[in-house]
Chains A and B, each alone.
Chain A
């Protein structure tokens, strides 16, 4: 991580037109592997962005960098007007400490491919745990919020179940409710249906679709479900080799991709 960054930080509060997420010149290497290459990438407030691209192109890494699970090597990331990995000291930017990360992280939520529910907590407590202990909600408030969300995902009757008693689709719906309970401004979805049996994919996608229609949360969705991406995304980003190779409205990307790599990729995946 570079100690300082030359680019000046935004000085005024973000207005409605500013992106909620901004990547500038972000690099990440794993050993010799250059996974994110000078990545520039913006997400608008409430924008629904589908990220597609070949395996190993760095899609998961973008989300993990944004969720602060992986530190980038260089570049800057701004979330809701605030630097993620840097903190302002006077007019300089210095690497962020855990406290700063926690502050910026309140804006971001994530749903994982393998759910990662807390197996030792019942469904309700999976969803109330962080609102109580991180946001400081009272038990009653957190329970009310969690119950509402669990009903929204169709699991109002499973509050007392343990995760091990649920199907994969139900687990993923609990995980979505758990992330929503923190009320993030940006939600990250990393191939959230690819660990599910085919017949359970629909129930999870329909919830994400509902969230996308409701509106004001920005969503970054890494997915291999092309028809789903086409339906719900405002913008589709084709990712290749650690960079945005092509992006645009779904209608353009899926019907008339201009980049030969995109054409090749879509041809390969749409055949299945």
Chain B
């Protein structure tokens, strides 16, 4: 079964996890800002947010990563592999997240907004205390899917020299030639990371939406 391979693959675990969590946090912030931007009353802001979303959704993450790592230095901007990897992943996933944020905000019933106008809330207060908390609950399930997508996409960073689990696997495969065992273990590893994430998101969602079925 090749249990002897596992400790070597696990050397990349720390990188994969750090990359996932850092990119996820950044992607979340970007998604909120860009999602709100797409709903802004100011046309230039709407345009900028829309352009960002379309560009980063419409092109390959891998090519984006290559740009950050290989092409930007030609313009005098050199990023460490980790920063280039995080930037590409966060911007790409953030673009999908922005659409989730926008959709969730728009599906909060208009009656909620009318009630908060009738209570004379400012637009900012309305957003912060009435709309976003309800939209957040709607965002959680699609955000959970996106988190898993992100975890799986981190495997691409091995192509810009970051030693994550996939990188370790490929290196090991080249030195030992034990192809099937190594890649089988990699699948198991990713799943072992993804499944608890799914459970965690579900748990948060159950807690956050408790008011609905209370």
Contacts and interface: CB of A to CB of B under 8 A. Distances in A.
Q: Are A and B interaction partners? A: yes
Interface of A: 67-69, 98, 102, 105-106, 108-110, 112, 114, 116-120, 129-130, 133-134, 161-165, 178-179, 182
Contact of A164 (B114, B121, B137, B212): B212
A165 B211 CA distance: 9
B207 interface: no
B120 A119 contact: no
A134 B111 contact: no
Contacts of B115: 112, 116-118
Given A129-B129, A164-B212, A164-B214, A119 B134 contact: yes
A134 B114 contact: no
A118 B108 CA distance: 11
B119 A134 contact: yes
B211 A130 contact: no
A105 B114 CA distance: 13
B118 A110 contact: yes
A84 B167 CA distance: 66
A72 to B, nearest CB: 16
Given A102-B120, A120-B211, A182-B119, 14 more contacts: A106-B120, A108-B118, A109-B119, A112-B111, A112-B115, A114-B111, A118-B112, A119-B212, A120-B133, A129-B129, A130-B119, A134-B125, A163-B211, A179-B119
Contacts of A129: 119, 129
Interface in B111-156: 111-112, 114-123, 125, 129-130, 133-134, 137
A127 to B, nearest CB: 10
Contacts of A67: 114, 117-118
A69 B214 contact: no
Contacts of B111: 112, 114, 116
B123 A162 contact: no
A102 B122 contact: yes
Is the interface on chain B under 10, 10 to 19, 20 to 34, or 35 or more residues? 20 to 34
Nearest 7 A-B pairs (CB), nearest first?
A130-B119, A116-B115, A116-B111, A110-B118, A162-B214, A162-B211, A105-B120
Could you tell me the dominant secondary structure of chain B's interface residues?
helix
Given A119-B134, A120-B133, A133-B125, A164 B211 contact: yes
Interface string B36-65: 000000000000000000000000000000
A61 to B, nearest CB: 13
Nearest to B121: A134
B211 A119 contact: yes
Contacts of B123: 98
B115 to A, nearest CB: 4
16 contacts: A102-B120, A105-B117, A106-B120, A109-B118, A109-B119, A112-B114, A112-B118, A116-B111, A120-B133, A130-B119, A130-B120, A133-B129, A134-B120, A162-B211, A162-B214, A165-B214
Nearest to B111: A116
A231 B129 CA distance: 39
A130 B212 contact: no
B114 A69 contact: yes
Nearest to B137: A120
Q: Which residue among A116, A120, A161 has the maximum number of chain B CB atoms within 10 Å of its CB?
A: A120
Contacts of A118: 112, 115, 130
Contacts of A165: 214
A119 B136 CA distance: 13
Nearest to B128: A133
A182 B120 CA distance: 9
Interface in B56-88: none
